[in-house]
Structure 1
């Protein structure tokens, strides 16, 4: 049982309303992206209207819009870079399996260096290699249509929907709904936060700014609880 509990992810601190908001946002994002792509490309381009990685992008953009992996440069830069790398691998490497593997690995490396890591980009790279003759025939145009078009449309919906539903997007660190600031000012140095994260040894899906806000709030709540005793 202990092993099984370690395999389960932690319970997210989200209620039914947030789950419904995220689910409807993903539905709306994919629907608008598909309809707008249809108007742009016409119904004769059915296989190219919407690529599967957009489903994963929608989960990030609407489900966890505060994630660094879901920010505008992540989806646009990550997906475009992945498409270019995937097409290049498909053109120059004879073995599809080797090309697919190198495309995903190259995408991970390139997007890390360019600060646009976006998990669905790995699927974009795979699609460029293994998507079939209609994808291969597009060549580097695949990066613009459908990848660039789909990504831009989905991002546009996310920008409107997340802000209308009161989620900061592009995300910026902000106080919680019911702040408890500590009485003594807490001077946090970004260098110290970076050093702690580096010493932790594993990348975390949260920005240093959000960590600072959460730490101040946590200390403020501890201070208030201590004063109430």
Structure 2
């Protein structure tokens, strides 16, 4: 499959899928937990299984010579699963459903998944629809708060920030990410700080020299 939308998934090969943000260290999670969102857990097994399926779905869309380190894919998956879990709980607490904008994003994606296996489809949905869902929930909350269309997204994002502050949301520091500002952001924690130039390059962007030099079991492409 060569659709524009599915090729877009391969953007992980060019840059890390999360933005850079400074943050203090986060306590490690135990018991096979990758993220904990207000009592709901995302397991390391869920992240590993989803990352493997996502990798297999997108690697045929990578341009010749492009590769993606598994660590980058795993961070993106962990962040997406945590963001979705937080957004679903936020929506339930606020008594809203996602704005109709989410339906359009979902339909657009579904139109390009026909060549994938069911497992691959589930993985792509989990990763690529997390942010549209979060934004659609925030928009619905903003509208419920009485903001006009232009201000609803910002009002909803502010409310989501407050919800995140009021709830226990933690992601294992091995993934180097956090939920901040209603988005998945990359952190620079004491625990996960790179100890080599190669590692530093790989955590700021998915450096092609670094990822291409990894064993095939540690990269996509």
Shorter-chain TM band = under 0.3
The two structures have a TM-score, normalised by structure 2, of: 0.26
- Structure 1 or 2: larger strand share? 2
Higher helix share: 1
